[in-house]
Amino acid sequence: MAALRIDVLTLFPEMFAGPLQAGLLGKALREGLLTVELTQIRDFATDKHRTVDDAPYGGGPGMVMKCEPLVAAAEGLRDRNSLERVVMLSPRGRSLTQAMIREWAAAPDLVLVCGRYEGIDERVAKALGAEEVSIGDYVLSGGEMPALVIIEALSRMIPGVVGNFESVETDSFYNGILGPPQYTRPQEFRGMEVPEVLREGNHAVIERWRRKEAIRQTMRVRPDLLDRCAGDDTKLIRELKREQDAPLEGETP
């Protein structure tokens, strides 16, 4: 399978240097399992000052990223990127999900556009057929950190990057809900014991316990994710709800 190619359009390519060299992501790039190329948007500005932003029409604070250099930077990738998937990192975009990551990881290439200032001229997305994506409801200075989040998430979907892919399949959100609680040695720490079920070695029972505890955690923290559950998960949800509704010892039902 050909390596996934990711092109990043940014005004600050130097922000990527450290993260792209570290950990499993660095390994994926060194082994050719993933390709990440950085394009400096400013290189496509045509005036002597290499201007990439201007004051907003209609007035208001801040500056807006201009159409011409950004679109030129993207279209300059045509000989090595299909431009079929262009993602603009934006606080007003749809929320990033693991399902989106899995979909993008199956594609041959992707373009990530890192916004700055007050935003990007509205016409850029239309010119490039881009979609806007957000990594959360908070404010950052630009799209570089969100782009790194996406690159990291994509790298974990590529066979060979994570030694045991089963560990990826148990990650939170991989199967739609949060992950189960995890334990390692020692067996007891400050009066807290590793659950007995994990020490008994019955893998079928352990697997069911982990799924149930994952659903319990999701029910407590992110109940909105339970809409994605089906099959045996719905049985576990009913079981957990019955446990919640059960009277405490000494109470009258």
Instruction: Please give the positions annotated as active site.
Output: 91, 118, 156, 171
Question: 133: buried, middle or exposed (CB in 10 Å: 19+, 13-18, 0-12)?
Answer: buried
Q: Which residues partner with 65 through β-bridges?
A: 53, 120
- 3 state DSSP class of 114: strand
Cβ atoms of residues 48 and 91 within 8 Å: no
Q: Which residues partner with 113 through β-bridges?
A: 9, 88
CA distance 35 to 109: 9
The H-or-E segment that residue 40 falls in is strand 34-40
Cβ atoms of residues 16 and 144 within 8 Å: yes
In Å, how far from its chain's centre is CA 168? 13
Query: Nearest 5 degrees, angle CA 17-CA 77-CA 74?
Result: 85
